[in-house]
Structures are given as structure tokens and as C-alpha cells.
Amino acid sequence: MKPNPIKARALQQIQQQLGHTFASTALLIQALTHRSHSAKNNERFEFVGDSILNYTIAKMLFDAFPKLSEGELSRLRANLVNESVLAELAREMNVGEALFLGTGELKSGGFDRASILADAMEAMFAAVSFDAGFAAAEQVVCRLFAGRVKAVDFKNQGKDNKTVLQEALQSLRFALPKYRIEKQTGEGTDARFEVSCDLGELGFICTAEAGSRKAAEQETAKEAMAWLQQKYPLKKKK
């Protein structure tokens, strides 16, 4: 299957985001192919990718939190390896633009469906391992999840700053925050992102700058949460 120019460009961007250039682009295409599009799809890839992801995140957490017990590490991993996080990561990478979907899925918005995006992420980890070996796939996972592992706060049951802020706003019955890229400069390792976090009806907006969008979003979420706790002190669970 030869992708059209738009898909070809999307596939190129995906490889840049992964930090891996495929020797066999066919593997990447299959990883991004939903069962609604073709019998040669990503379902079996997901099986392998899920195992690669779980092992790699487990090892990252094992190294990052040497004093935590097995149960505590398991809870941290569960908060990082789930459909919601994978879908969020896929959206950051614009994976939806590169998906190969059947007509029905296209019409129903499958390109932004969390389950489809999460499955594609797992399938891509498998595709990298088939293309260049397990170590290459492990490096891709480490690169993509490094910021999230660093942002984990065990006091909040392993939830990152964005998740903690979202749950706090929901508990207070306020709308979810909106994150916007206000400014972007440079490329690759020299890239800088200025991101804002807008709490809407609460009238609070803060900004932060970092080397990646997700890192900047985490910083703004942390600042917004600190403000929210001062204005609406949250009761601590016993």
C-alpha cells in the first residue's frame, strides 16, 4: 500500500516524533492500520507493543523510585500505562492524521477516538521492535515517557500534574482547563514551548516555558493547582 502525499508527510512526522526512522515503512503503515481498513491491520502488533510498553515503564519506575514497594510501583505504572495517557500522547504526536481507517470509522471520528489512538501507539512500539529490535523500541518508549515519569508525584498516587488539576476541578464542578501553545521557537533539542493554562470561568491563566509542549503543560498545571488549592482548599483524604 503506497500512501498518498498527505499520508506520506504524516508518516514522516510520526517517525520524527518517535525518534526512529523505519527501514521498512510497511511496518509503520500496518501499525497505523485499523481493522476497519484492512485485514492486514495492527491488532497483532498491539499484543507485542503492550508487553514492550509495560516492561519499559516498569523498568523506568524501578530505576526512578528505588524505595517504593511492588504494589506502589504497580499503581504508578497503572497511571502511566492506560488508554487515556496513550491517547493523549498520540494526540500530541498528531497520530490521527496518519491513521488508515475504514469509511465508517472516518465518518464517525475514529481518527480522534481514544481506543483507536491508544492501540496505534502500542502497535507502533511493536513495529519499531520488528524493524530494529527490542532495544530500539525501549528507547522510543523511554523518550516519549521520560517527561511523564519525571512529573509523577507519588503523594498524588502517581498522577501527574495535569491529572491532579483535572480531577480537582471536576470535584469542584468547574470546567476542565484549556492548554494553548502561545509561542514556539527552535527545533529538535533547541525547541522551546511557551504554554498557557486557562481555568476559564475561574479567571486564572498562567504560562510556563519548557523544551517540550507536554513539559510546559505540566508546569502550568502545577502552578494552576497551587492557585486552586489556595482559593478552594481541598479536603485531604484520611
112 is in an annotated binding site: no
The b/e string for 132-154 (b: 16+ C-beta within 10 A; e otherwise) is beeebbbbbbeebbebbbebbee
In Å, how far from its chain's centre is CA 3?
Answer: 25
Q: Where are the alpha helices (DSSP H) in 81-133?
A: 83-92, 103-107, 114-132
Q: What is the dihedral of CA 150, 156, 160, 162, to 10 degrees?
A: -150
Residue 37 to residue 207: CA distance in whole angstroms: 41
Give the single-character DSSP code of 151.
H
Active site residue 63: no
Q: Which of 50, 88, 105, 217 is catalytic?
A: 50
Active site residue 219: no
Q: Which of 88, 105, 122, 131 is catalytic?
A: 122
Detail the residues annotated as belonging to a binding site.
46, 119, 122
Query: Which residues are the active-site residues?
Result: 50, 122
Detail the residues annotated as belonging to a binding site for Mg(2+).
46, 119, 122
